[in-house]
Structure 1
């Protein structure tokens, strides 16, 4: 028996049948403020009668148990999962896919833009190296050391392996059904979404979320000079396709991708204006600007954030400042290894 969830209980364990043959399963994220990650089970696609799974979840016992219970409610079991299409490389999406492949032989798919990030995870034996470097360039050297000391075990080498197939902009065909792969860099360089045109469904991963804005450029690889610019371009790309029902990785299913994209673009326009105002008329590093902004929907002061969230806040401030530079609203100069920004006259 499947249960249809209300909008306020999206993280409750169980199964939500979005439409016949498409099931949303929230898997727990221990010690994570997001509470859960949605994976989606698609029936009737694989020629072998197996399930196609969108995203894998985080490889922790709680997630494995919740997935097994959800499958049992559908009259299925783990062995029925034949293909796992992952939206991006973050551990709450990728690591259980790797675990299930080892256990079941499922085929794992990942966007080709994640290749360098995966290589660096194995080379550097850590997922925070790039973010810590950005912190230091932002003038937040002490925070970088605090984060490094507080979160030494975020990376476990056994959790990551290469996928069976790297994906570009292409169409995957499963029997008589198709899923369009759309690269959407920004949250990570290799993030992809999966569009089911026939059923009007977009499996959006962390690219378009219904209640929060995703972090930008949080990955092992250098996110590029302007990850927010890439993200905004990827958001606008969504409006070039017919509107679709939004099936996100975090939060409830909603009826319109285009509506939420417009809200996210407006949010970042407002955030760019606030960042420019916080920069003021002086010359400041991104750490100083970040401390002058409020954070999250609750308008939390910078000092009220955890060390990890302060890192994300500084890195996102860098991303917004770099878009202001790109748009000619500010300039940047490097002094002593720290980038300092000035409002354009």
Structure 2
């Protein structure tokens, strides 16, 4: 446990659900944990006890919040949980916080599995993330391939082997999200969704995904935060080839500030890490973390112009593999863009690469 993490409260201690169980964390709310094949090696998924009108009959069941990537092991774990953890009840809908593969990857399989000739299990998510997931699943721009390689090259990635590997990742997103449901029910900011006996209010967050949805239940004092507020790591905030002039870090910081409207007593159910309390403390930590990174980057750009690839050692003190480097490059550009939009940096091109210099 790092120093920042130690200032948070973990009501469940070190308890984690194993692969065979869904652990209750609040009345009618169960925690599922699935493995991921990345350095970030797991994702938390949630089961909410539900009751919906199905063809004129009020039907008890569950809503699944987030899905995991599409992988044989993930499907097998879900099938076991369906047999043992749902009290013999069906899944009535699937709700996805955002379009990243670990969240939406199995949505198509889940809604198909739980649909019948008389009932189509629906997908609920924001329309912007739904559309972006379709683009990514089809191998669209911004998720790997030539567009991503050219974007990274324009920001200083210059090793031929690395660029070749990025080009080869054209179908990286689609490999984990091979399909997306054809239809969805749109989630909007401030929209209230009745799930079982409780109302859950949608809170849109920006910067990490196009239109990320967190869910807050006042009755339970619970926030399903998705990736917007994580207890141990900072959320990845990146500029992508599909939106090369964006300022996602400022959008993210503004979204965090809006979460201060929630009570500090709220139990936060994050997508990675353990359920915790200490919302304001964590917002302060994340805000301070990014302020420190921005200050370090500005100081470095005062000393001499640099590109995003040259900024990586300033922002990331550990060794990075290629998968981590692609995220880190996007994050470095995001920090440089924030300083640029604040009027603290100017940018210019040198041999086709964007350079940044303090004003």
TM-score by length of 2: 0.83
Q: Where does residue 69 of structure 1 map in the other structure?
A: 80
Q: Structure 2 vs 1, CA of residues 124 and 287 (structure 1 numbering), >3 Å: closer, same or farther?
A: same
Cα distance between partner residues in 2 of 1:201 and 1:139: 43
Match of 2:211 among 181, 186, 190: 190
Contact 2:296 2:314 in 1 (8 A): yes
Cα distance between partner residues in 1 of 2:69 and 2:182: 16
Match of 1:22 among 3, 18, 29: 29
Contact 1:86 1:109 in 2 (8 A): yes
The farther-off stretch of 166-175 and 318-327 is 166-175
Cα distance between partner residues in 2 of 1:44 and 1:158: 28
Contact 2:203 2:214 in 1 (8 A): yes
The farther-off stretch of 150-159 and 106-115 is 150-159
Structure 1 position 175, deviation (Å): 5.2
Unaligned runs of 5+ in 2: 1-9, 53-57, 116-120
Structure 1 position 93, deviation (Å): 0.6
Cα distance between partner residues in 2 of 1:34 and 1:66: 19
TM-score by length of 1: 0.86
1:217-259 C-alpha deviation (Å, 9 max, x unpaired): 3768427510111111111111123332110011100023222
1:42 is the counterpart of 2:74 = no
Match of 2:344 among 321, 329, 332: 329
Match of 1:128 among 135, 144, 147: 144
Match of 1:314, SS state, is helix
The farther-off stretch of 218-227 and 316-325 is 218-227
Q: Where does residue 286 of structure 1 map in the other structure?
A: 308
Structure 1 position 307, deviation (Å): 0.9
1:200 is the counterpart of 2:234 = no
Q: Where does residue 338 of structure 1 map in the other structure?
A: 353
Cα distance between partner residues in 2 of 1:122 and 1:42: 27
Structure 1 position 158, deviation (Å): 3.1
Match of 2:112 among 102, 113, 126: 102
Unaligned runs of 5+ in 1: none
Structure 1 position 74, deviation (Å): 2.9
Q: Where does residue 147 of structure 1 map in the other structure?
A: 165
Contact 1:116 1:221 in 2 (8 A): no
Query: Where do 1:144-183 residues align within 5 Å?
Result: 145-149=163-167, 151=169, 153-154=171-172, 155-156=174-175, 158-169=178-189, 170-174=191-195, 176-183=197-204
Contact 1:188 1:219 in 2 (8 A): no
1:272 is the counterpart of 2:283 = no
Cα distance between partner residues in 2 of 1:186 and 1:40: 23
Cα distance between partner residues in 2 of 1:321 and 1:203: 30
Contact 2:154 2:353 in 1 (8 A): yes
What CA RMSD, in Å, does the superposition of the two structures yield over aligned residues?
2.6
Cα distance between partner residues in 2 of 1:273 and 1:11: 40
Structure 1 position 34, deviation (Å): 1.6
Query: Where do 1:217-296 residues align within 5 Å?
Result: 217=238, 221-222=242-243, 225-243=246-264, 244-290=266-312, 292-293=313-314, 295=316
Cα distance between partner residues in 2 of 1:172 and 1:6: 27
Q: Where does residue 69 of structure 2 map in the other structure?
A: 58
Structure 1 position 206, deviation (Å): 0.9
Structure 1 position 149, deviation (Å): 4.9
Q: Structure 2 vs 1, CA of residues 125 and 71 (structure 1 numbering), >3 Å: closer, same or farther?
A: same
Cα distance between partner residues in 1 of 2:297 and 2:268: 29
Q: Where does residue 93 of structure 2 map in the other structure?
A: 83
Match of 2:201, SS state, is strand
Q: Where does residue 3 of structure 2 map in the other structure?
A: none
Cα distance between partner residues in 2 of 1:131 and 1:171: 37
Cα distance between partner residues in 1 of 2:255 and 2:14: 28
